[in-house]
A and B are shown apart, each in its own frame.
Chain A
Amino acid sequence: DVKVTQSSRYLVKRTGEKVFLECVQDMDHENMFWYRQDPGLGLRLIYFSYDVKMKEKGDIPEGYSVSREKKERFSLILESASTNQTSMYLCASTWRYNQPQHFGDGTRLSIL
């Protein structure tokens, strides 16, 4: 089975802090994704990566950056956290396009 592991289930940070969310997958998948999920808005793509050191902006990249130094690890960075970034963050991976994405358990992030 595919395993996508997110480093924290719950995280509380303060406004202005730099926040790192980590995601690791164990299936040698090429593609990795970061989403945020908010009530009424569904899943929205922040960034994705199709190879090591490669990244592309999703639909809502503002206020975020990403890093993919190794194939199995994809990090989401909130450069200066703000309260409107309080959300559920989901990481996903897939072997190639047109294949199902497999999700981690999510990180519920609260910015105070």
Chain B
Amino acid sequence: GQQLNQSPQSMFIQEGEDVSMNCTSSSIFNTWLWYKQEPGEGPVLLIALYKAGELTSNGRLTAQFGITRKDSFLNISASIPSDVGIYFCAAPLGGGSEKLVFGKGTKLTVNP
């Protein structure tokens, strides 16, 4: 079935560093979503991308919808301790389906 391959699985960085993570698939998607989940909480939508090549920012977060429609990238600039959490990519299966397919997540740890 359709899968999203998210990397890296985990990152340990120092406060102030920039972070990059990505999601790839062998399938084409028309929408890419990025969520953040903090410990003990539900995922929160960070950025939604609807067009190939689209670059969208939300504060220090920037996400891009790959030109091939098979990948997406999330960057966090100047990380701070409250950036810790698990970041998920997701994409609607399309074709009228209500389902999302999810990446396994990138666990981010920021050392002060």
Q: State the interface size on chain B (CB cutoff 8 A).
A: 24
Interface residue SS majority, chain A: strand
Contact-residue size bin, chain A (C-beta under 8 Å from the other chain): 20 to 34
- The answer to whether B98 touches A31 (Cβ under 8 A) is yes
- The answer to whether B44 touches A97 (Cβ under 8 A) is no
Chain A: which residue is nearest B41 at the CB level?
Answer: A105
> How far does the Cβ of A25 sit from chain B's closest Cβ, in whole Å?
12
- The answer to whether B30 touches A43 (Cβ under 8 A) is no
- The answer to whether B100 touches A101 (Cβ under 8 A) is yes
- The answer to whether B40 touches A98 (Cβ under 8 A) is no
C-alpha spacing A18/B90, complex, angstroms: 32
C-alpha spacing A72/B94, complex, angstroms: 24
A98-B42 contact in complex given A43-B102, A48-B98, C-beta closer than 8 Å: no
> Interface of B with A (CB < 8 Å)?
30-31, 33, 35, 40-45, 48, 88, 90, 92, 94, 96-100, 102-105
